[in-house]
Amino acid sequence: MLTKADNDLLTQVENDAPLGKLMRQYWLPACMSQELPEPDGDPIKVRVLGENLVAFRDTEGRVGVMDELCPHRRASLYYGRNEEGGLRCLYHGWKMNVKGQVVETPAEVRREGAEPKKIQHKAYPVRESHGFVWIYMGDEATMPEFEPPAFANGTNPRISIAKINLPCNWAQIVEGGIDSAHASLLHSSEIRPTGNTTRAGLAETHTLTRPSVDKAPRLHVHRTEYGMRYVALRTPITNPETEEYARIATFIAPCIVLSPPNGTYSTIQFVVPRDDVSTSFYFVGWTDDQTEGEGVAQDVWRARMGATVGVDVDEDYWPLRTPANRFLQDRTAMRNGSFTGVRGIANQDSMMWVSMGAISDRSKERLGTSDAAVAQFRRVMVEAVKAFARGEPPIGTVEPRTPHRRIRSFEGVIPKGAEWQTLGILPE
């Protein structure tokens, strides 16, 4: 359990909240590149850390992310004209380029010989990389160099991204991503035990296999300079006397989870707070020349994750399964063998996260042995927030540090008692 004060530190990001100030020190995903498919295309609304923003791709293909409201009279730029190198407000024609510089004010009278006013709209630095538009929302004087994500290592990365906007706090989602125990129960209809230790993710059937029937994993947690890693050890079906089935997940502050790989691909989650009570959840499946497997096609990946537009989510990526329709839970299916009555791992997860309420009251919890990683995540982030408020550097930014490109998670059968802490960490 957490005190109310620490729960507030863990969950609140809006305005001057200490966690929000910390998260602004990192490059964060604002949207997927494919949401801005073409130059001079439709602008989109983006919400990050309690700020309403607008994103657009200009005539040259460059992306801008800025305050949604025009600096002139505060009309929404979402309805504006994206043309000729900038986004033009419909109200009085003011136009901003991707850096937020006001380049045209057609309704203003300019005195003869006078220099035009230099007006700067609130806009954030942008980098576009590996399927995402990233923004930096902190002080540009302390802006770190953009670090490509973990899946950018190697050559020829094959990436599939599923996006879901969820009406709950970000921490509930991260905690689900580092909670190994729930998979054996909540996802038991999608995860099948097998004696085959090579295991695989069967994309066509949306079913995963695991070489264990053990529902009570033994957790060991290792704190790192960038966050934490933990291993969940289960008794395997084959060679239980000499081997253990290990699943290692990694948390990289402030909001990245590398969940264990699934045979044909690796996975990573970006859990970006929209505000205190909603989150943009990006689930990436990828493979490259340094990982095994062929990856998974974009449409298949989204179907598995419950993120297909028009089927699972609307055009703005909000789930069609909600508390109002009981998440479309099928009680007949439950009586006939389905554990949850909801198909799809992500749909099952989101049902649990959203059911906790907008912000879970952790002061009323009763944690058990299966929650060791969750408890460590909370300690890591609460301490990181307090340290940054004292003037210390943001977590994970002090050298020597482990570059994200070297960090991986792990899944496999290992000898009993084997060292696990470095499994999945690539050499320098």
Does 14 map to a domain? no
* pTM (predicted TM-score): 0.93
Q: What's the rounded Cα separation, in Å, for the pair 284 and 250?
A: 15
Domain CATH for 189: 3.90.380.10
Q: What's the rounded Cα separation, in Å, for the pair 395 and 400?
A: 12
C-alpha dist (Å) from residue 264 to 85, 157, 200:
42, 13, 6
Kindly give the confidence (pLDDT) of every residue in the chain, 428 residues in length, as a single tens digit, with 9 standing for 90 and above: 799 999 999 999 999 999 999 999 999 999 999 999 999 999 999 999 999 999 999 999 999 999 999 999 999 999 999 999 999 999 999 999 999 999 999 999 887 766 667 899 999 999 999 999 999 999 999 999 999 888 876 667 789 999 999 999 999 999 999 999 999 899 988 887 776 554 444 444 456 778 888 899 999 999 999 999 999 999 999 999 999 999 999 999 999 999 998 767 889 999 999 999 999 999 999 886 655 556 678 898 898 888 999 999 999 999 999 999 999 999 999 999 999 999 888 899 999 999 999 999 999 999 999 999 999 999 999 999 999 999 999 999 999 899 998 898 999 999 999 999 888 888 77
Does 34 map to a domain? yes
**Both 128 and 239 in a single domain?**
no
**Both 171 and 59 in a single domain?**
no
Are the C-beta atoms of 79 and 87 separated by less than 8 Å? no
Are the C-beta atoms of 52 and 77 separated by less than 8 Å? no
In the chain, the amino acid numbered 215 is: K
- Cα torsion angle, 99, 104, 109, 111, sign: positive
Q: What's the rounded Cα separation, in Å, for the pair 345 and 318?
A: 16
Of 283, 8, 20, which is closest to residue 151 (Cα–Cα)? 283
Final residue in a domain of this structure, among 142, 161, 193? 142
What is the separation, in whole angstroms, between the first and last Cα of the chain?
38
| Structural domain count, the chain | 2
Final residue in a domain of this structure, among 142, 170, 205? 142
Compute the C-alpha angle 144/149/155, nearest 5°: 125
**Both 291 and 215 in a single domain?**
yes
Does 11 map to a domain? no
Domain CATH for 80: 2.102.10.10
Does 231 map to a domain? yes
**Both 68 and 162 in a single domain?**
no
Does 275 map to a domain? yes
**Both 95 and 166 in a single domain?**
no
> Domain containing 352: what range?
150-415
Does 15 map to a domain? no
**Both 136 and 155 in a single domain?**
no
In the chain, the amino acid numbered 105 is: T
Final residue in a domain of this structure, among 142, 166, 191? 142
Does 421 map to a domain? no
Are the C-beta atoms of 305 and 163 separated by less than 8 Å? no
**Both 271 and 234 in a single domain?**
yes
Which two tokens mark 68?
């949604």
**Both 329 and 188 in a single domain?**
yes
**Both 206 and 335 in a single domain?**
yes
Which two tokens mark 177?
């991503």
**Both 75 and 154 in a single domain?**
no
Does 407 map to a domain? yes
**Both 223 and 95 in a single domain?**
no
**Both 265 and 158 in a single domain?**
yes
Cα 415 off chain centre by? 33
Residues 6+ apart with CB under 8 A from 189: 337, 338, 339, 340, 343
State the pairing for strand pair 201-202/207-210: antiparallel
C-alpha dist (Å) from residue 402 to 31, 108, 150, 225, 399:
26, 53, 11, 8, 8
